[in-house]
Amino acid sequence: MADKKDKREELMDIDISDPGHAYENRQEIYYNDNVGGRAVFVDSKEQYDPDEPYNDQVYIPEKDRDKAPILEVKGLGIDFGGLTAVDNFNLTLGRTEIGGLIGPNGAGKTTIFNMLTKVYEPTRGEIFFDGKSTKGMNTVDINKAGMARTFQNIRLFDKLTVEENIKVALHHTTNYGLIDGMLHTPKYRHEEFRIRKEAMKYLKIFGMTKTADYRAGSLPYGAQRRLEIMRALATKPKLLLLDEPAAGMNPSETTELMDTIREIRDRFQIGIFLIEHDMSLVMGICEGIVVLNYGRVIAKGWPEDIQSNPKVIEAYLGKSRGKMEEEEKKEDIEDALKKGKLESAPSGKPDRKEGE
């Protein structure tokens, strides 16, 4: 009994004050051979190759400029049948950068996430994660290499408890076999207690210790979103992809989420790449922003640049009245051309191609 009491106390008195504990622990965990072939840890302080320095076109915050990028995407594209959903997508994301991906509905943002995590196999282009090409990897390999994601529509393990949801994410660091699992050997007990402690640590960081025994599917919405982020973090990623983390949240919850995301970055020292429609969140925390429309990048840069970029405003709010009149005129001329009334078309910016 005394032993049990000690264990319970140990669970309650987890110290979460030390910053970046998971990040520190990661090195030894990754070197462990028995954790299901996880990638060997690459030192993040590694100098970026001086032969290929960042140029001005790469939007990376100053603090990350001396390190290799966590994610490099070159000319990424995917076709569904004859439809080009995404084309020529390029991105460089710094080691500890919070990057944003915005664009109107149906622009292809989630498709890009699905390509990064290999839910879809890209038709063109290359993805370099942590300096290595992800060609030939599947979703499982991608996660093992250190990329974790959340989903636009929450995907939790509904019938498992909150604690179990995190324990599942700690699966690869849990070190026992099927026989141990079936017979509950001392090794099982030891490892289970260790990961329980680790799961509680995550719950404590996010202030959700009280929800530990409840079914994940029965939690309030905001708690479910938070749990999904926690679960992704528990796989000890180097890059966290968040798909609309603030969807369905009220303004005060969104502000809270901004703090949370910033704290995650500072504590775990990881890169974060997020899709979001809430401009206050994107402009508030993102360091670099990519704007997507009809599967193509229409702008790239710092938040201030994006806010004043006419192309972005056009994509979101539509064309201004003057421009629309101009285009109508152009259409009239084209119609006339087809009918053969006019001999030559006036020079100007060509219209958007059909079918885009």
Identify the three-state secondary structure at position 49. Answer: coil
Cα separations in angstroms, 57 against 191, 198, 278, 312: 48, 41, 26, 18
- Identify residues 127-166 at the interface with another protein (CB under 8 A): 138-140, 143-144, 148-149, 151, 155-162, 164-165
Dist CA 337 CA 345 (whole Å): 7
* In contact, 166 and 173? CB cutoff 8 Å: no
User: Contact between 8 and another protein (CB under 8 A)?
Assistant: no
Smallest distance from the beta carbon of 85 to another protein, in angstroms?
Answer: 19
Q: Cβ distance 149 to 232 under 8 Å?
A: yes
* HSE-CB for 125 with a 13 A CA cutoff: 24
Which residues in 261-280 contact another protein (CB under 8 A)?
263
Query: Under rule CB under 8 A, which residues in 236-255 are in contact with another protein?
Result: 253
211 binds another protein (CB under 8 A): yes
| Window 162 to 181, contacts with another protein (CB under 8 A) | 162, 164-165, 167-169, 171-172, 174, 176, 178, 180-181
Q: Does 330 bind another protein (CB under 8 A)?
A: no
Residue 129, classified by CB atoms within 10 Å of its CB into exposed (0-12), middle (13-18) or buried (19+), is buried
Q: For residues 184 and 311, which CB has a smaller minimum distance to another protein in the complex?
A: 184
The dihedral sign for the CA sequence 189, 190, 195, 196: positive
* Angle subtended by helix axes 2-12 and 186-205, to nearest 10: 30
Per CB under 8 A, the list member of 85, 200, 208, 229 interacting with another protein is 208
Site for another protein, rule CB under 8 A: 36, 117, 119, 138-140, 143-144, 148-149, 151, 155-162, 164-165, 167-169, 171-172, 174, 176, 178, 180-184, 188, 191-192, 204-208, 210-211, 213-215, 218-223, 226, 231-232, 234-235, 253, 256, 259-260, 263
